[in-house]
Amino acid sequence: MFARELPELPFHVWPDIDDPQKVRYLAAWQPPENLSEVFPNLEVLFSVGAGVDQLNIATIPQSIRIVRMMEPGLAEGMMEYVLWAVLSYHRKMFHYAQQQGQHVWQGGANISARAFRVGVMGMGALGTPVLEKLAQFGYACNGWSRSRHNILGIKSYAGPEELDAFLASTDILICLMPLTDATRGILNRELFAKLPKGSCLINCGRGGHLVQDDLLWAFDNGQLSQAVLDVTDPEPLPKEHPFWDHPSIILTPHVASSSRVESGGEMILKNITQYERGFEMTGEISRSLGY
C-alpha cells in the first residue's frame, strides 16, 4: 500500500530497518523504551491501536508527535462486540447457555430493549458509534465523558459532577475510556454502589480500569448481576484467578476490536500526507491528558 501510494517514501519492516538515522515515522504497538536513541530523527510515532497506555509517554521526547489509531474498522468491530454483549445480557443468553449445561429448558419473558438503560463511559471514536448503534436497537442510551457531546437521541453527561446522575440511570454500564491517571481504577466499589442493583458491566476499555476485588464484592452484594470483560490486568489472568470460573463473568481474550490492516494503513498514509503538508493529523493525542 505504501509502495503504491507514497513510492517516494521508503518503507521498512522491523528489524530490517536499514539506517535507523533515516527513520522519520514509526508505526508500532510497543516501541523500544530508548526510542530517541534507536531513532534519533523520529518525528511521528503512530500507535497501531486506539489506545496509547502501552507507551511510556513521559520518556518520549516532546519533539515526537504521538498519534493513535482512529479508523472505521476499529469502530465497526467495537459496535459488533458491544451489541453482542448487550443483546446477550438483555435476551438472557448467558443464562440460557448455563441452563443448557444443566439440561434445563426454562424460558423467560420478552422484555423490550426500551426497558434497558445503557450507559457508555467514553463518548469518543468508539463510544459514539456504539451509542448510536444501541439507540437504533431501541435501548435508552446515555453517555458520560470529560466534555459534553451533542448526539441526537443520546443524553450526554459530563465530568465528575455528573457521574452520579449518569450511574443512577444506567442498567448496563459499558467502559470505553482510555486508561490514564484519571481513569485507572474507576470501576470500583464506590462506583458500583451508585448503579441500580443488579446492573451489568461490560468492560472493553482496559483491565486497569477495574478494581478486581471490588467486582467480586459487587456480585456478592447483588450490586452487579453480570460482567462481560474483554480486557483484564494482566492479560491473560493467571490460571487460578477467580474470574475464570465465576458464574457471572464472561471473559473474552481482548478481541472486542482491533485495527484492520487496510483501513488502518490508509489512516497512517493519510496522516503522513497531512503532516508533510503542515496540516493536523487525525488522532494526535494530548500529552497532558494522556489520550
Q: Which residues of 11-38 are buried (b: 16+ CB within 10 A; e: fewer)?
A: eeeeeeeeeeeebebbbeeebeeebeee
Active site residue 277: no
50 near ligand OXD, rule: CB under 6 A: yes
Q: In angstroms, rounded to a whole number, what is the distance separating the alpha carbons of residues 211 and 62? A: 32
Kindly write out the interface string for residues 199-238 of this chain, putting x where it contacts ligand NDP by CB under 6 A and - elsewhere: -----xxx-----------------------xx-------
**107 is written with which cell numbers?**
424460558
Q: In angstroms, rounded to a whole number, what is the distance separating the alpha carbons of residues 171 and 81? A: 18
Report the site for ligand NDP in 259-288 (rule: CB under 6 A): none
Whether 7 contacts 28, CB under 8 Å: no
Q: Of 68, 90, 117, 206, which is the active-site residue?
A: 206
Kindly write out the interface string for residues 51-80 of this chain, putting x where it contacts ligand NDP by CB under 6 A and - elsewhere: x----------------------x------
Shortest Å, Cβ 5 to ligand OXD: 23
51 near ligand OXD, rule: CB under 6 A: yes
**212 is written with which cell numbers?**
478486581
Give the residue, chosen from 256, 267, 272, 281, that forms a contact with ligand NDP under the rule CB under 6 A.
Answer: 256
126 near ligand NDP, rule: CB under 6 A: yes
Among residues 99, 112, 82, 93, which one has the least CA distance to residue 201? 82
CB contact set of 20 (below 8 Å; sequence gap of 6+):
38, 39, 40
Q: 3-state class of 154 per DSSP?
A: strand
How many CB atoms within 10 Å of residue 257?
A: 21
Kindly write out the interface string for residues 52-91 of this chain, putting x where it contacts ligand OXD by CB under 6 A and - elsewhere: -----------------x----------------------
- Please give the residue ranges that form the binding site for ligand NDP (CB under 6 A): 50-51, 74, 122-127, 145-147, 176-180, 182-183, 204-206, 230-231, 254, 256-257, 291
- Please give the residue ranges that form the binding site for ligand OXD (CB under 6 A): 49-51, 69, 258-259
